Structure 1
Amino acid sequence: MTQHSALDRVWTVPNIISLARLVLALVLFALIEGVAGRQDLAALVLFVFAAATDWVDGWYARKYGAVSRLGRIFDPLVDKVIVCGTFVLLADRTGSAILPWMALVIVVRELVVTAIRAEMERTGLDFSAAWSGKLKMLFQCAAIALELGARTWPELVLGSVSIHQVTVGVVWLAVISTVWSGLEYVLAARPLLSQDS
């Protein structure tokens, strides 16, 4: 592979989108943390946009054959930065449906799975996202969006249930699916882990 073609595999459209999403994550954190006064609605809009671009770069990579080794590592890493950072910041806010221990569970799971992914990629083993991991990501994103929505419209009622109650339920689904999918990945990596022991 020439230097130019190798560079092309780095600066692919999906990788550029992932890099832009990482920059958006920093802006999102600033909005949640209240660097210029808390802007929950702006944070909600930005988070939904960032989540949508995650789908776009994955779709583009598959449709146009732009899958790269870097992208297989960088894209999920950016996802984890956004999700873990947002969960930690929201867990620190009074009245949040996301409790500190929940954020800790999610961060630990993501660190463990990232370490396993890196080792499997290094050894050339496939570590594509399982459907349980995709479901976990869906619940995590829904939990974050609902928590930001509950802070933007605290009096909103969905049927006979408050948005906060809905958020609590979805947060629990996010935590359960996070642990479940994490265990699946650990079990899938058992042959590799047993080789190292």
Structure 2
Amino acid sequence: MSPKPVSIYNVPNALTTARFALAIAVMALIPMGNHIAALIIFSIAVSTDWMDGYWARKYGQVTKLGRIFDPFVDKIIICGTFIALVEVAGSGVASWMATIVVARELLVTSLRAIIEGSGGDFSANQLGKWKMVLQCAAVISILLSLINPSVAWLGWAGQIFLWSSIALTLYSGYVYVIAASKVMRDAPADL
């Protein structure tokens, strides 16, 4: 007897959907200049990221939709926020920086789809998780510096986190490309 399929209408997918709505709100609030609300909502969205995965594993509610939707929402939160910050004077986020963030996410997602679609394993690594931490720290510190422009150290912290996150984004993308090339080189010819 096969196990009963898990419904997509469950708590983890509801949490992910809520995070998606929060991401859209952040992208709308930043260009409007409402940086305090954007900071609060961004912080809630990224700090609750672990909840949906934890709940899904603990209560056996892992779904194919959740495995796709959760990382998609993570990418929307980060990429969308970086893009929104490009047009804000004083953020320090240049269009080329947002392009690097988006390009890295698209590249790694594409490589993962190719490899896992052929039965390989291309799970996230610690470097990718640290990249996300630095990106979130950059966004939070940049928003704080926009809220408090007279506090010089916030501006410096924002720029240090920003440049560090861009460097780690590039490096982690490089590491994923090398790992993917090894997997594809060692895989059967149809990969």
* TM-score, L = length of structure 1: 0.86
Distance 1:54 1:196 in 2: 35
In structure 1, runs of 5+ residues without a counterpart are none
CA contact (8 A) 2:6 2:61 kept: no
Q: Which of the residues 132, 156, 163 maps onto 1:165?
A: 156
For the pair 1:179 / 2:170, whether they are aligned, the reply is yes
Q: Aligned runs of 1:1-197 on 2, under 5 Å?
A: 5-6=4-5, 8=7, 10-34=8-32, 38-157=33-152, 162-191=153-182, 193-194=184-185, 195=189
Deviation at 1:156, TM superposition (A): 2.4
CA contact (8 A) 2:6 2:62 kept: no
**How many residues are treated as equivalent by the alignment?**
188
Distance 2:120 2:183 in 1: 9
Q: Aligned-residue CA RMSD in angstroms?
A: 2.1
Distance 2:11 2:179 in 1: 30
* TM-score, L = length of structure 2: 0.89
Identity rate, percent: 43
Distance 1:17 1:174 in 2: 26
SS of alignment partner, residue 189 of structure 1: helix
Deviation at 1:94, TM superposition (A): 1.3
CA contact (8 A) 2:30 2:85 kept: yes
What code does the residue aligned with 2:126 have?
Answer: W
SS of alignment partner, residue 70 of structure 1: helix
CA contact (8 A) 1:73 1:118 kept: no
What code does the residue aligned with 1:20 have?
Answer: A
CA contact (8 A) 1:154 1:164 kept: yes
Deviations 1:25-77 (A, max 9, x none): 1111111121xxx2100000000000012121122233333333332221111
CA 121–15 in structure 1, closer or farther in 2 if over 3 Å, else same: farther
SS of alignment partner, residue 126 of structure 1: coil
